[in-house]
Amino acid sequence: MSELKGYKGKIRDFLTQNQVKVGDLIKITSELTFSGILMPRYESGDESHIVLKLKSGYNIGIEFEKIEKIEKIGQVEIGIKNSQTIEKNEKLPKILLLSTGGTIASKVDYRTGAVTPALSASELYEAVPEIAKIANVDAEVLFSEYSENLQPDHWLEIAKKVDSVADSDYTGIIIAHGTDTMHYSSAFLSFALSGFKKPITLVGSQRSSDRPSSDAALNLIAATKFLVNTESTGIFVVMHQNESDDTIACHFGTRVRKNHTSKRSAFQTVGAEPAFVVYEDKILKNAQKEFFDGNEYNPKINLDTRVALVKYHPGFDSKIIESLIKLQYRAIIFEGTGLGHVGKTMYDSIKKAQENGIFLGMTSQCIDGRVSMTVYESGRDLLDMGIIPLENLIPEVALVKAMWVLGNSDSYDDIKNKMLENYSSEFS
DSSP annotation string for 188-241:
HHHHHTTT-SSEEEEE--SS-TTSTT--HHHHHHHHHHHHHH----EEEEEEES
List the beta bridge partners of residue 283. 278
- Say how far apart CA 422 and CA 117 lie, in whole Å: 36
Cβ neighbour number for residue 45 with a 10 Å cutoff? 14
Catalytic residue among 24, 53, 103, 181: 103
Q: Does residue 373 contact residue 383 with C-beta atoms inside 8 Å? A: yes
Catalytic residue among 107, 225, 258, 401: 258
Q: How far is CA 222 from CA 30, 64, 241, 277, 284, in A?
A: 43, 44, 11, 9, 12
List the beta bridge partners of residue 107. 116
- 363 in catalytic set: no
103 closest CA partner among 202, 201, 200, 208: 208
- Say how far apart CA 193 and CA 177 lie, in whole Å: 18
Catalytic residue among 24, 53, 107, 179: 179
Catalytic residue among 180, 285, 351, 416: 180
- 179 in catalytic set: yes
- Say how far apart CA 205 and CA 178 lie, in whole Å: 7
Q: Does residue 392 contact residue 366 with C-beta atoms inside 8 Å? A: no
- Say how far apart CA 200 and CA 198 lie, in whole Å: 6
Q: Does residue 140 contact residue 174 with C-beta atoms inside 8 Å? A: no
Q: Does residue 78 contact residue 109 with C-beta atoms inside 8 Å? A: yes
- Say how far apart CA 231 and CA 198 lie, in whole Å: 9
List the beta bridge partners of residue 251. 237
Q: Does residue 160 contact residue 175 with C-beta atoms inside 8 Å? A: no
Residues designated as active site: 103, 179-180, 258
